[in-house]
A and B are shown apart, each in its own frame.
Chain A
Amino acid sequence: MVRLEHIGKRWDDGAELLHDISLALAPGDFCFLTGASGAGKTTLLKMIFREEVPSEGQILVNGRNVSSIPARKIPYLRRTIGVVFQDFRLIPRKTVFENVTYLPRILGLDQRGQRKAAFHALRRVGLAHRLSAFPPQLSGGEQQRVAIARALINEPEILIADEPTGNLDPDLSREILRLFLEVNLRGTTVILATHDRDTIERAGGRVVTLDHGRLHSDLELVGSEPPRLEPPREEAEGGDGEAGDAEAPA
């Protein structure tokens, strides 16, 4: 699914940011990417969705070298990858519905199709009742869940999250982590970058550690307090357990 082969990255001034990173992720894998600030986590993630290009090596996503695809094909790669950031990146003047339906609009879905897609994505993160709210009306945890819904709306094969809990308190961080694990349980490959060792040690799983741009370790960790996950529900079952003004898709 995702294969990094001897990846290196140098800035124009010659400074080396990443050195000889090799890594392979199979479909349905969940992987923590950790390391101190400046270790190169964000740059590595950006290379997967082609916001950065490696100076050396190649990155294969579904067997395709993403660093050599032509610029006009990049959007099509990105439609298969969901990305979540620490700062949510929601547009405050747009409603939750508008914020999550960027991709359906790009794909040309009509209003009904957009509402349906938004409803399903938001239901997965427990926010189907906040379609018409604006981001400033939501808590930090809710805003991050909207950002996750936006990333999930097209059922991506890969979900990349860069410090998604960095701005959240420990309780909300656990809640968001559980969401990512649930998404992973449905078959999506998840790569989650964090420097929060506590979260990783509690959850456990595959942990790739970078240190000063080099691969320090790649190991399986047994979590001290792994979150209890519910098996994925079928969409047809309906209901997200939230009360309020949940709207059925028009």
Chain B
Amino acid sequence: MSLLQALRYFFREALVNLFRGWKVSLLAVLTITVSLCLGGTFLLASRNLSQAVERWRAETRVVIYLRPDTSGDDLQRLAREAAEPPWVAAVTPVSPADARRRFQQSFPSLGGLVEGLGEEPLPASLEIRLRGGARPAAFEAWLAGWRKRPGVSLVDDDREWLRQLETLIAVLRGVGFALGAVLLGAAIFTIASVIRLTAYLHQEEISILRLVGATEFFIRGPFYAEGLLQGLLGSGVALVGLYAAFRAVHARVASSLFASMLASDFLSLRQLAFLVLLGSLAGLLGAIASLRRESL
């Protein structure tokens, strides 16, 4: 029997077994689905968050808040000075009056808070947009220099919270993989149990196969194919579920920052292939584990 014939036989028998024992097979498929759905969700969230961080990194700003007594001329002078280094793309000087107007536009319901106080409540600032790419060591020295200047009250560096966000993404990814791995382990165990049960139900047939001269490869092949198919089915269902959930969240991207952070893009083809491969491997591993010590 050629390998192709054997594979055709294995998968045909595996499909028959799946169909006949669909209830127990469903259990195995669902455990794979749940574990891959969870792993996929974390993968999707971390992918979108990473992309958001990349976008924000490209738009990284440094805001230098100046003391309230800074004059308009000083603001313009400092703005020119701030625009000198090569890593600065643009500098926008924001006067206290501009800052108040922005606040009122951004938070109309709170606009009254900054009205009628006599003097401008918000300080002047320099909004510095940085160029992309790596920051030279001189950049940090430059920032430190601004922090020490007497006319400066605060230097707000976006990269700080981006770093924190990246740490959060790394934690999220780690937790996702850990949870996914635990659930995948459970799925492998379930598949192993299902395959062992199927093998037990086919004991008589296996004894006949052995009696008439079937090789171990021929006897075990259909069970391996069954595990593989359960894994494939489980990962297929997981991807469909994941996509449906993604579409539901993606529909709110325009109106929700949360949705735009988590569901701007679906998983890449490579990531999808990885999940399918993982599910199939889990199924195959389950089958191998279940029959490893079985004399069948």
Contacts and interface: CB of A to CB of B under 8 A. Distances in A.
A147 B106 CA distance: 87
B213 A78 contact: yes
Contact of B9 (A49, A83, A103, A105): A105
B214 A75 contact: yes
A130 interface: no
Closest 5 CB pairs of A and B: A108-B1, A79-B213, A78-B213, A75-B213, A103-B212
B208 interface: yes
A102 B1 contact: no
Nearest to B9: A105
A60 B214 CA distance: 21
A76 B211 contact: no
Contacts of B210: 75, 78
A76 B212 CA distance: 9
Contacts of B208: 89, 91, 102
Interface size class of B (residues with CB under 8 A): 10 to 19
Nearest to A100: B212
B204 A106 contact: no
Interface string B71-83: 0000000000000
B213 A106 contact: yes
Contacts of A102: 208-209, 212, 214
B214 A106 contact: yes
A108 B213 CA distance: 13
Contacts of A78: 210-213
A123 interface: no
Interface string A48-85: 01010000000000000000000010011111000100
Contact of A72 (B2, B205, B212, B215): B215
Nearest to B20: A93
Interface string A199-219: 000000000000000000000
A110 to B, nearest CB: 8
B19 to A, nearest CB: 13
B207 to A, nearest CB: 7
B140 to A, nearest CB: 68
Interface string A158-195: 00000000000000000000000000000000000000
A150 interface: yes
Interface string A98-115: 000011011110000000
B218 interface: yes
Interface string B189-216: 0000000000000001101111111111
Given A94-B205, A106-B213, 11 more contacts: A51-B211, A72-B215, A75-B213, A76-B213, A78-B210, A78-B212, A89-B207, A89-B211, A102-B209, A102-B212, A106-B215
Contacts of B216: 72
A78 B217 CA distance: 16
B212 A91 contact: no
A169 B204 CA distance: 25
A196 to B, nearest CB: 23
Contacts of A94: 205
A89 B213 contact: no
A62 B59 CA distance: 84
Contact of A107 (B1, B204, B211): B1
Contacts of B5: 108
B267 to A, nearest CB: 41
B211 A106 contact: no
A72 B218 CA distance: 12
A103 B208 CA distance: 10
